[in-house]
Structure 1
Amino acid sequence: MRLSGDAALIYRKTFETLSRAIEFDEARKELQSYRPVSNLEEILERQNEIRKKMEISRKLHPHEIKKLRPLKIGKSFFEDRVYLASDEEDYESAVRLGVCEVIRDEARTANFPVILNDFVNRIDLKSFAPELIVESIIENFESFRTFAEIEARISENTHYKKLIPEIEELTKLYSRLNEIESIRSRIRDMEMEINREIEERLAEIKVTIPASELLRILREGRLSEEIEEEIERVVSRYEKEFESMGIMESLFSRTFPVRVDEEGVERAVSRVKEKITLDYYLKCLRIAEKIDMEYINEKIEFYRAMRLYKLFDSSGYTMPEFGDGFTIINGRNLFIEDPQPVSYCIGRNSLFPYRESIILLTGANSGGKTSLLDLICQAAVLAHSGLPVNAEKAEVPLYDEIFYFKRKKSSYGSGAFEKAVKSLVRAVSGDGKKLILIDEFEAITEPGAGAKILSTILKIAHEKGHHLVLVTHLGEEFRGLEFIRIDGIEAKGLDENFRLIVDRQPVFNRIGRSTPELIVERLMEKSRGEEREILKRVLDEMGQ
């Protein structure tokens, strides 16, 4: 489909307006995949596909969609594992993976807690570093849980929902593994806490042991039985904190002041870390085998894209029918905040008793004539994209081209006139059915010349079977053309500040009153005597 003149601008602005109404890039990308076409079969296929997606969107709650986030696999080099390559090809493949040490010398495997060859026979991320896959889920668990629940409800795929308990259990092991890294600093903090507590107890013991005796005992490195018992009691209580991690060794001396057993701590931490690391790796390996990250992210992207169809399903849009004429019932201009709904028709249709395909739209300035042209163009563009249109009901013919001539405020003079005439001639030239929208062409030339040019354009458009809507203030000049319909947007009058009071719904087969006529009427109502009589005569002449 060709979008000529300002029709391409309306198309871009329409899609930009819709994009702002949806939160997710996936939905915006989905919207941008639609382009206006003139192939009815393709449009109907799109409509059927969109109806299915709108049905899916009804099963999605907005708060669910917001929770969905793509799962991103991080990068890490695991120093706790090694892969023994059997040949050069294996070696290069494993090195390219870049997640662990790769060797050819079997003797060096003794330095690593995890020897991958004992557990896997493939060189891939799932086998070498399944933790990266599982942790991408653990760190975005709310998103994964939401995805699993949606997948079970909409696609009847319960596979990932069944994995939730396993991953929740693994989360505890993941936390323990992270806690191990903080054991050393925690033990050093404990050393200060233990000694402070023992000092407080020694202050109490001084009551039963003479001060001179206590000093001598401490100076000689000897401890009384009572002091030894107190140190053992305090230290043992602190060491119990690590029993849940599997550390049963003594971590502190039993002398005063108490000191950290650095070698004992390193042995205990290394032993427990190796055990938990292997346990964690094996459990991640089992879960990672059940996870298809590409599938999950594709479905998350799909469900986030459904926000577009939720917009169409719940915000006053309808899927148009294709027929002979253009009709919208309670259409809403997307460029206006809280617009007045408007119903309109062009050509033969099933909803209005009007058949004219060439229409003049008249009325006061700022009454909504240009807004109606924008609305017609919006609906036509959306319909030819296969999308629902911004109305309660709509019928649209299949157009080969949409042409929109919009007068530029700064476009005056012979150059602008020449360019405008060329545009109109091109609009009615060639084959195919066209929707032609013209906004105040006469404003760039003399009214008489403008009327003659437009009369010819209207006749040619009628002869070729095009649909044309012309916004003009020259309604009377075209009354002799029997094939046209003249509609008017009626201004009810002016308020105290001479602002228009407008009903933006066009009245069919009636010329709309111009702004000067309304101003003269307003002045007449406020005048008296001879001035009122003069204004009345002026108003009568304008109305003839």
Structure 2
Amino acid sequence: MSDETKNRLKALNFLSEYYARLLKDIDEYRLRSVIEFLELGFFEGISEYLGISVDDSYSIVKKYGETISGFRVLSILRTKDIRILAERILKLISSYPVTDVGRCRVLSITPTLNRSIIEDRLKLVDNGLEILKRLRNRGLLSRVLNILSKARFTKPPHEKPLVIATSSREYYNNLSKMFSVFHRVELIDSKDKFKQLISLKEPIIYVGEEPIHEPGVIAFNELPNLIDINPSILINYFTTRKPILECFIELYSLVEGFSDENLINRICEALSLVDEAEKQSPPDFKQIIVEYEEKINNELKKLISTSSTIEFRKALESMLWDITGRLKLTENERKLLWEAAFESFELPFQFHPVKIRSLEILYVKRMMEKKHMKLREIALKLKSYIDDVDEALKKLFSLDLEIALALFTEEYGLTKPIIGSRGFAFINGRNLLLQAEEFKLGLKLQSVSYALGETDTVKVKDATPLNIALLTGANSGGKTTLIETIAIIHILTLHGLPVPAEKAEVSLMPLYMFKRKTAKRTGSLEASLRSMGRMFSDSRAKLVLIDEFEALTEPGAMGRIIASIINNTPPNTYMILVTHLAAEITPHLLRNVRIDGIVAKGLDEKGNLIVDRQPIFNKLGISTPELVVEKLALKARNRKIRKTYRNIVDTIREGIRQTLLKWIK
């Protein structure tokens, strides 16, 4: 194993014992591929090379990403709700790369609190936008994407185990340590054992100081390395990447600054050697023999009525010389061919089956020996091109990722966030997932601006710089959508991706998200409060998003519980809590809390709710059950039913008036 592979292998010390053992059971070049797939985020390739499930390989790639970013996903995305949302976002973005590697790479991006890593990732977007601009100016974008879509790893061929033999006990012990996992290692301790081995149909590798001159024996007088034993292992490293390298060469003239000429020349040289290796397959002996048996019989049929036995023999020998030349037989093999032809000369003509089978074994062994030595020669040359191939692959798949992120950024109108330290603010933010639906259905969504804490660059008018806010207001007014938007903007920032806002300043901090819970079963309140336990013990700055815990118990008790949650959160916590219980919560608060409201203006002519989804800062928003009932009243045809609905509306409005008076006092 090369020193470089050993060093890269050290980065895999996070793997469990089971997966570490799997890596020990593959050859150096497959191991190199697995490490490369890890670095590229290509978990599907790891699944194929290690023979494990895609889910398991995805987990391995995510863990590797965590070691690079310096943070575990669970230490940043602290709740299941926020992790599910992050997965939905990455799945959306993964539709933009055109390569399998690019798609896997997006899905396996991990969040980080490391500012420099985030800034480096955001630079990929800048690079992609610049590349898009140049390609569009030259009318080449579609062509480049089409070429990239063909850049795929091919499936590695199944390697047949080889037989490695030696008469030296010392060599046998060393060879067993080096190759017994993949190949059959034999100790020749008798003449019978030697005869048994050379009688095999396949050639054998012999290691020893004594000379061996037997057909199909590939001899080494000193301990061989992996390429000596099986040069196809290294050649396959290149052939599985051949389609990608061909795309790389094609892209060179299309994408400005994509690669330097020296690397292109090196890749062309490597591909030339790969083509040479692919031409080393020996002729199909059986097919050629069957073909000539048919030719001989056809020729003899023409001569049977007019020619003598001597002419028959001349015609047959002419065909045999053709076979000898086509197969490039040795003198011993030629003699065996003649014996097979004249052993029992009769019509219809057929080579003697035993003799022709002996010739086939002899010939195939010799050709496989010749092929092995030629492939070894090619493999030794190819070895110097491995780093060039790795560099070419990184460039190509980086191009795919950069273009994909740029296209995603353009389509959704995203911007690079400014990294802050004491809160967040964004102008005209949009819910990315709803925006995707907007594109499909042709809807027009309202953007909103929001802020929490103190920001240095991006300011939202009237947003008092407090760390905690209660978000109140109309039913179906967009409160849940807003906190999801806030979560999305933070998730994208933590992954080093642009955000759906005109401007945004975001602090790097862990995220907690608790979605709406209802008392559907005994213990819901207990389970919900227990899920918040980690939030109270986490002393780091963090953002907590809570969506309506109202229905877990009666309003008065719930108001006191929510107030106590707010009072007991660590001081550097940023929290937004969606609630209809502001009046029940505020009397028990011991901390400064901003109350923001989303206001419903009424119903339109079709009975639909008219809502300004932009929260009004420092204003209580009242839920609007009266508008729901009023909608029913408008649709009711029965006069008594309509009157009943109107009475209910009046009662609700009086209750709201009393609540507002109480809250103001």
Same fold (TM over 0.5): yes
- Which of 69, 85, 89 aligns to 2:153? It is 69
Contact 1:149/1:161, CA 8 A, preserved across alignment = no
| CA-CA distance at 1:352 after TM superposition | 1.5
Output the amino acid matched with 1:222. T
Which string of whole-angstrom CA distances, capped at 9 and with x for unpartnered residues, describes residues 490-511 of structure 1? 4874897x88677755455665
- Structure with greater contact order relative to length (CA < 8 Å, sep ≥ 6): 1
Query: Unmatched 5+ residue regions in structure 2?
Result: 1-70, 132-143, 184-203, 439-444, 658-665
Query: Is 1:370 aligned with 2:480?
Result: yes
| CA-CA distance at 1:326 after TM superposition | 1.5
| CA-CA distance at 1:163 after TM superposition | 4.9
Query: Is 1:330 aligned with 2:436?
Result: no
CA distance in 2 between counterparts of 1:457 and 1:268 reads 84
The aligned counterpart of 2:32 is none
CA distance in 2 between counterparts of 1:449 and 1:167 reads 74
- Which of 524, 544, 547 aligns to 1:436? It is 544
The aligned counterpart of 1:210 is none
Report the CA distance shift for 1:197/1:12 in structure 2 as closer, same or farther (over 3 A): farther
CA distance in 2 between counterparts of 1:160 and 1:474 reads 67
Q: How does 1:123-522 map to 2 (within 5 A)?
A: 123-138=224-239, 141-146=242-247, 154=258, 156=260, 158-159=262-263, 161-164=265-268, 167-168=271-272, 171=275, 174-175=278-279, 177-180=280-283, 182-196=284-298, 198-199=300-301, 201=302, 214=305, 222=309, 231=315, 236=319, 243=325, 246=328, 257-260=348-351, 269=363, 273=367, 276-277=370-371, 280-281=374-375, 283-292=377-386, 296=389, 300=393, 304=397, 311-316=404-409, 317-323=414-420, 324-328=422-426, 329-334=428-433, 338=437, 340=445, 342-349=448-455, 350-356=458-464, 357=466, 358-384=468-494, 386-389=496-499, 391=501, 393-399=503-509, 402-410=511-519, 416-417=524-525, 433-454=541-562, 464=571, 466-474=573-581, 484-488=594-598, 490=600, 493=603, 506=615, 514-522=623-631
- Which of 84, 97, 104 aligns to 2:208? It is 104
Query: Is 1:523 aligned with 2:632?
Result: yes
Of residues 187-196 and 256-265 in structure 1, the stretch that sits farther from structure 2 once superposed is: 256-265
- Which of 59, 81, 84 aligns to 1:10? It is 81
| CA-CA distance at 1:278 after TM superposition | 6.7
For normalisation by structure 1, the TM-score amounts to 0.70
The aligned counterpart of 2:193 is none
Which string of whole-angstrom CA distances, capped at 9 and with x for unpartnered residues, describes residues 406-440 of structure 1? 34223577x54466567779857885544332222
What is the DSSP-based 3-state SS (H/G/I as helix, E as strand, rest coil) of the residue aligned with 2:490? helix
Q: How well do the aligned residues superpose, as a CA RMSD in angstroms?
A: 5.2
* Total equivalences in the alignment: 506
CA distance in 2 between counterparts of 1:489 and 1:245 reads 89
Contact 2:518/2:551, CA 8 A, preserved across alignment = no
Contact 1:359/1:485, CA 8 A, preserved across alignment = yes
* Percent identity of paired positions between Structure 1 and Structure 2: 23
Report the CA distance shift for 1:25/1:19 in structure 2 as closer, same or farther (over 3 A): farther
Report the CA distance shift for 1:8/1:312 in structure 2 as closer, same or farther (over 3 A): farther
Query: Unmatched 5+ residue regions in structure 1?
Result: 38-42, 206-213
For normalisation by structure 2, the TM-score amounts to 0.59
CA distance in 2 between counterparts of 1:363 and 1:147 reads 56
Q: Which has the larger radius of gyration?
A: 1
